[in-house]
Amino acid sequence: MRQSIENKTALITGGSKGIGYGIAAALMAEGMHVAITSRSLAAAQKAADELNQLGKGKAMAIEADVRDYSSQEAAVQQLMDKWGRLDLLVANAGIGHFAPIEDLSLAQWHETIDTNLTGVFYSIKAGLEALKSSKGFFITISSLAGTNFFAQGSAYNASKFGLTGFTQAVMLDLRQHGIRCTTIMPGSVATYFNNHEPNEKDAWKIQIEDLGQMVVDLMQMHPRTLPSKIEVRPSMPG
């Protein structure tokens, strides 16, 4: 039997566009309330206003930077002050710098690791006690780049290989508290990632609503069962 998620709450980092936005829209259609974070409050508020026109659930905007632990603590507290519980934390915020190792700058390396890996650590640490109380769900958005390396991907591969391993280890730590953890590892997705502008040529790619539906399915699955690592790719090559 599918579990009801109506009136449950979620915090989605980097939720103002792309995959995070698609997940928020899918959850809200099922009646969940969602807080989306962005380093830009204006971007988060614009997205929340759009989302509030779409779903049964409610959206709120929070300005937060995953690279700053106190910022993540404040984001969780804002959600708790408004809704009183945290049922789902989606660590989605991510960035990519791609260059041969001789051209990759120190700043690009640190921004990639600090956002894609340390930022996820900060997110779960900030939300941990709230998730323990709700016996909630922790989902990270890794990538097929977290298991498949490629040229000019040293920083990104390192961050996503690390994120995949991090989430699997955290899953083993947290299931004793009734918290479920899953990492989703998408291939090509039609998003704004790396300054791409989604267009009709992206029709072959995974769409953000597909990943949104996947998160809904995970939330509605009986809690005795946990798909802990999910690889997902387009059905056909582009």
As annotated, the active-site residues are 156
b (16+ CB within 10 A) / e for 149-161: eeeebbbbbbbbb
The C-alpha angle with vertex 133 and arms to 62 and 85, in degrees rounded to 5, equals: 35
Edge-to-edge strand ranges of the sheet holding 33-38: 59-63, 33-38, 9-12, 88-91, 137-141, 180-186, 229-232
Q: How far apart are CA 50 and CA 193, in angstroms?
A: 20
Identify any residues that bridge with 185 across adjacent strands, giving them in sequence order.
231
CA dist 221 and 81 (Å) reads: 28
Contact indicator for 73, 89 with CB cutoff of 8 Å: no
Element (H, E) at 33: strand 33-38
User: Which residue is it, tokens 């969940």?
Assistant: 32
Consecutive H or E run containing 174:
helix 154-174
